[in-house]
Amino acid sequence: MSICYLNGKFLDLKEAKISPLDRGFLFGDAIYEVIASYNNKPFKIEDHLDRLFINLKDIKISINYSRQEVKNILESVIEKNDLSNQIIYLQISRGHEDIRDHIPGPSPSPTIFVCSFPLKNIPNAQMTAIKASLKKDFRWRKSNIKSTSLLANVMYKIQASEENFFEIILQENGYITEGAVSNVFCVKNNEVKTPSLENNILPGITRSVIIDIVNKIGIKITESKISVEDFMNSDEIWITNTTKGILLVSEIDEVQVSNSDNVYSKVLKKFIEETLV
């Protein structure tokens, strides 16, 4: 049994229902957050709430819930599901209306949904390096908003599965943006680089954690444009996201990435420590 929250009620996930006229279903007019919970403690919940309320403002959705009330709901879902390690999914749509129209009405009531899934990938020192592929970025121009309009990302992940890659890394006009479902880092001569937030990328929570860790351990890190050529000549390449943590990339399009993992190993160790706090 999995307990979810939907519009004021906690109930079995199998009993949760929304209107087919919900704007999240019809238009992808919704945003979401994915939060890891380790040992029943939500990881970086305040950072997730920061991004959530920024995104709500960005797409002009108003909810009658305070920040603390949303936090209480998330923590209640964690408590009601008997899992030490969970992935919490939160989605807020603009709500449903009686008539399908691209222009929302003056006062739709947002749909607020929270559910829980087992967290299968606990960060550990023996995490296997992954294979990736480099593709052109054809997504929309507001990747900073964590929108549920994820068709492009779904298409990339289907392609990755069909071609036996774990992730698709995206490039635009010769510069790296991010992964289909991840942020990207690379290392050259013991200096870490990651695309800046000006490069149409998601301000990932795990991305922010990794940047903080790299700074703490005294390694130089730069947020800037990264050319495909420089990226492919890196000593190390990593991807990061909430569900996987931080993963080393072993090859891109069957081209071996340098075997160095000196910086990655140090960062991974500190990241594991942070998830245990």
Q: Domain residue spans in the chain?
A: 3-118, 130-275
What class, spelled out in words, does domain 130-275 have in CATH? alpha beta
pLDDT tens for each residue of 174-212: 999 999 999 999 999 999 999 999 888 999 999 999 999
Task: Count Cβ atoms within 10 A of the Cβ of residue 18 and give its class: 0-12 exposed, 13-18 middle, 19 or more buried.
Answer: middle
- Conformational region of residue 254, where left means phi above 0, alpha means psi within -120 to 50, and beta covers everything else: left
In this model, does residue 1 exceed pLDDT 70? Answer: no
Q: Which amino acid is located at 66 in the chain?
A: S
Which helix or strand (DSSP H or E) is residue 178 part of? strand 175-179
Residue 188 is a catalytic residue: no
Among 165, 169, 187, smallest CA distance to 178 is for: 169
| Model confidence at 277: pLDDT above 80 | no
Q: Which of 146, 157, 193, 244 is catalytic?
A: 146
Burial (Cβ within 10 Å: 0-12, 13-18, ≥19) of residue 33: buried
Write the pLDDT tens digit of every residue in 119-134. Answer: 998 999 888 999 999 9
Domain at 3-118: CATH code: 3.30.470.10
